[in-house]
A and B are shown apart, each in its own frame.
Chain A
Amino acid sequence: MMDTVFSVQFLGSLLQSTLRVTTPLLLVALGELYGERAGMINIGLDGIMTFGATVGFIVGYITVNPLMGLVAGSLAGVLINMIYAYSTISLRSGQIINGMALNILAPALSVFMFRQYFGVTTKLIQGTVLASVYIPVLSDIPILGPLLFRQNPITYLAFVLAILTAIFFNKTKPGLDYRAVGEFPRAAETLGIHVTKMKYIATGMCGLLAGLGGAYLSTCYMGTYSEGVVAGRGFIALSAVIFGGWRVRGLVLATLLFGFTDAVQLRFQTILPVIPYQILAMLPYLATIGALFLMHNSGLAPKANGLPYSREDH
């Protein structure tokens, strides 16, 4: 057993699968970061992911093109998040309650659409999966090969996006303006920033990335669709934003940690059949709680996070 664990091949595939399972978490956590940096807490990520996964799967299945599925899933995420946006930004109702409403509405809509298209069926329907990149020679390097040169295109996209997001928020003028909306919306408004518009854009970004993360699950990771495919990943991504202290670097590390835990438990399910898989499957959830316990970063949150905004209020 120990030989298996410490073999180079095992380590290589473990790290490779870490990135595979980190991808959706990273995408969705980045989406939530775009939201919260403009003061919009969205606990409906799980719901948006479910919707993205369903629409992505159905469109990918119809067009036999997983890329179309990913695009459709992302747009579906934007669309459903506009309910949240209108209710919280324009009507100024509570963000938490609206997030909750998405978590209930999106799965219901998803089940409805899926059954409408495929009928009530118990058998798993297989869709086309977006193939991984395979760079010859380089991907044969032990450990680093599979880690860096044999990944899904969306995995590369997620990490590139993380870098771009870090640059945007820290090095650009529009990025600083954007952050001002989440910190001091009133001051931002006096500087000529259209706070309401920015909040809509932020919510759109959040929906886009959460929808993409969901669609990744059904069109890149699983290739099939089943109810409950998201399995709390939205909440783990939400935790990653807190654990990562609302910074891209922290968020990447947090999602990698959660992804690693998930990859480890998935591997252990195959090499350690003695331990019931249900016990192993608890690990990512427990690790997330443990991580939140060790680091409580709430002081780093954007100051106007979660608060409604109105130009008229004083």
Chain B
Amino acid sequence: MLGSRFKNTIMKVSISIISILGAILIGAVIIASVGENVFIAYGFLLRGAFGNSRAVGETLVKATPLIFTALAAVFSYRCGMFNLGAEGQFIMGAVAASWISVTILPFGGIINTLLSLLVGALAGGVWGAIPGLLKAYRGLNEMIVSILLNYVATLFMAFLYSGPLMEKNIPQTAAVFDDVKLTRLLEGSRVHSGIFIAVGVAILVTYFLFKTAKGYQLRVVGLNPIAAKVNGLPVKKMIASAFVVSGMIAGLGGATELLGSSYRLMAGFGQGFGFDGVAIALIGQLHPIGAGLIAYLFAVLRTGANTMQIATGITTAVVDIVQAVIIIFAVAATAITALPGVKAIVNRKWRGIEQ
């Protein structure tokens, strides 16, 4: 007999893989529909992502922030909360890190790096606390509040880099000091130690959610808040805390991106990372490890898309469409397998395999 958990995992993994393949096929149709050769286009995409060590490094650079925002989405979703505000929390984390690192701390070096990361995480947590508290104690829709706060955070960052923190006359902040930047890992590539922080957080989140009592309680709240309340769990407090931790993960991501890759705040920083994180979390079946893998896939698609655009003129937007189609397929496929008729067939097939 196969365990039901094992079956479940196989099912989820196959849904993800089928969705990804289906979406890549849709991407091929779009490329063909604008009169380009699909094989050449996808060939350039692969070469752009894996052609040399610099390219591979770039995929890791692009994966790092996505892992953070995806983990933020996984964490809050496991507590039944949609945190659609990871972008704002990411930005506030970077804003705080930039401010502390460049303007406040009188010294550089590793202590500056660590403090900036810490303050970034705290700032993200504070930004995440707003929708969390409003949801828990006032019943406000957490999705709407967190999304609206994204716009506020973006505007606040724009105010800083074109006002008080502007460097000379260019609308951007000053770069962090060289000895504060996260270490580069590979000669000739931008890949930095932030990827280790991201993977470390993924492991921590996995451990917390699946191996600790608190993590179990959090998942109970997510699965059935009423049962959780009846059993004496402090549901409101847990909802608010889940949002804070989710915000901290996103904020740490923003600080990591700032110290490891962009070094300064400027227009477009963090844009889209929040929604991408939610998408990645959903395709990754709301598991930290799944989310990490899908984040890497998204990063590969993006890194490759740039090369594809330069070589063939096909816009990188094709890759964005492919990513969106993956979610739609994944959601639809999960729903299809849950339909009563389909469920019966699937169960019969499983029995066939086992016999």
Contacts and interface: CB of A to CB of B under 8 A. Distances in A.
- Bound pair: A and B? yes
Interface of A: 43, 83, 87, 91-94, 96-98, 100-101, 103-105, 107-109, 111-112, 115-116, 120, 231-232, 235-236, 238-239, 242, 276, 278-279, 281-282, 285-286, 288-289, 292-293, 296, 298, 312
A96 B143 CA distance: 10
Determine the interface band of chain B, counting residues with CB < 8 A from chain A.
35 or more
A239 B318 contact: no
B234 interface: no
B266 to A, nearest CB: 14
Contacts of A91: 332, 335-336, 339
Contact of B328 (A87, A96, A296): A87
Given A96-B82, A289-B145, A111 B339 contact: no
A300 to B, nearest CB: 12
B156 A97 contact: no
Nearest to A108: B320
Shortest beta-carbon contacts, A-B, top 8? A93-B335, A108-B320, A105-B324, A278-B159, A112-B317, A91-B335, A111-B317, A278-B155
A282 B157 CA distance: 12
A292 B339 CA distance: 36
A221 to B, nearest CB: 18
A276 B278 contact: no
Interface of B: 30, 34, 82, 84, 134, 138-141, 143-145, 147-152, 155-156, 158-159, 162-163, 275-276, 278-279, 282, 315, 317-318, 320-321, 323-325, 327-328, 331-332, 334-336, 338-340
A93 B317 contact: no
Nearest to B335: A93
B315 A115 contact: yes
Contacts of B323: 104, 108
Candidate in B143, B151, B276, B339 with the most chain A CB atoms within 10 angstroms: B151
28 contacts: A87-B335, A91-B332, A93-B335, A96-B82, A100-B327, A101-B331, A104-B323, A104-B327, A107-B320, A108-B317, A108-B323, A112-B318, A115-B317, A116-B34, A239-B141, A239-B144, A239-B148, A276-B163, A279-B159, A285-B152, A286-B152, A288-B144, A289-B148, A292-B134, A292-B140, A292-B141, A296-B138, A296-B139
A235 B162 contact: no
